[in-house]
Amino acid sequence: MIEILSSSALATVQDRGRDGYLRFGVGMAGAMDRLALAVGNLLLGNAEDAASIEIPVFPFRVRFLEDLSFAVTGADGAAKLGDRPVLPWWTLHAKRGDVLTIGVPEQGARCYLSLAGGVDVPVVLGSRSTQLRGEFGGFQGRPLKKGDVVAAGQSREGSAAVSTTGSASAAGFGSVPPWLSLPAPAATPEGEPAAAGDTVVRVLPAAEYERYTPQSQDAFWRTAWKVTPQSDRYGYRLAGTPLEAVETLEMRSHGIVPGVIQVPHSGQPIIQLRDAQPSGGYPKIGTVIEADIWRLAQARIGTHLRFVRTTYDEAVAATRELDSYVEKVKQLVGLFRSSGH
């Protein structure tokens, strides 16, 4: 078990989310950066979709109430266990009474604290993820707050299986971060280089793309879109060159998924994310491919996004590349454990 020591941290319990319930009007929720979630769990011997704690506000502090192995993935917040530095994308074993502090990352927006055995909260509609809008799932359907005690290492019937306990055998090694193994596209198709700190993601044109003016289509790819303070788990509201349709677009509400880029009347795009509602009526100009959602999740407020046009075949290849990275982590974990650790 761990005790939350931070106030108003906006940290939530998340797993991969609630797949299969959009048709009933229930949003997906789940980790914004599914890759960081998966790797943190795999390093500990958990199922890759076990629940962890997603942390978007720093510094964040917890106290371990029992001996327990853990991993910190995602953004590098120069974490410390007491006075001992914690390497990013690495596992350590905490003793009862140890305090983990995760500082403000220099880059990236979210980190994930994974516990050996997974975070133990009730399964609701097939997931442990916190659904903030519906106030269910996770830890009492809300963000964690100071004084909360979160259990780990117990598997409930119907949840993802875990394959380890809180023993020290789950600690002592780590993984290469994905941004070193999966380099992002470096430039737009037009050859304009992305500025340092820009997040570059690949996008497929969506259903209403052709209904925007050629000038707006060009601006969509060339603009460095600023992530505004009105951005959160529900979606990123962007600021840049307003996009104009050839004619007024009036649409009925229709199903949407994380990654869809909608354009409201202001002409400033909104990217739907993990807590997005299941339907919406704004026209869709593009969709961030699933393989790049983890990059999107680490874009900080005030930084810029750049969109690179891609194809369906390229999107499928990117997903395979992502799966290959996760498979290599699994092999690494297997080799480490087979060596007697």
Three-class DSSP category at 195: coil
pLDDT in tens, 195-249: 778 999 999 999 999 999 999 999 999 999 999 999 999 999 999 999 999 988 7
Give 294's DSSP letter: H
Q: What is the pLDDT of residue 72?
A: 96
Q: What is the pLDDT of residue 167?
A: 53
The sign of the CA dihedral 154, 160, 165, 166 is negative
Q: What is the pLDDT of residue 34?
A: 97
Domains in the chain and their CATH numbers? Answer: 2-174 (no CATH), 199-310 (2.40.100.10)
**Mean pLDDT of the 46-70 span:** 95
* pTM for this entry: 0.91
Strands 304-309 and 199-205: parallel
Q: What is the pLDDT of residue 155?
A: 38
Distance separating alpha carbons of residues 296 and 102, to the nearest angstrom: 21
Q: Cβ contacts of residue 20 below 8 Å, gap of 6+?
A: 126
Q: pLDDT exceeding 70 applies to what percent of the chain?
A: 91
Three-class DSSP category at 15: coil
**Mean pLDDT of the 83-97 span:** 94
pLDDT in tens, 140-191: 999 999 999 999 975 333 334 344 444 555 668 899 899 888 877 765 555 4
Mean pLDDT of the chain: 90
Q: Cβ contacts of residue 250 below 8 Å, gap of 6+?
A: none
Segment holding 220, helix H or strand E: helix 214-222
Question: Which has more pLDDT, 317 or 196?
Answer: 317
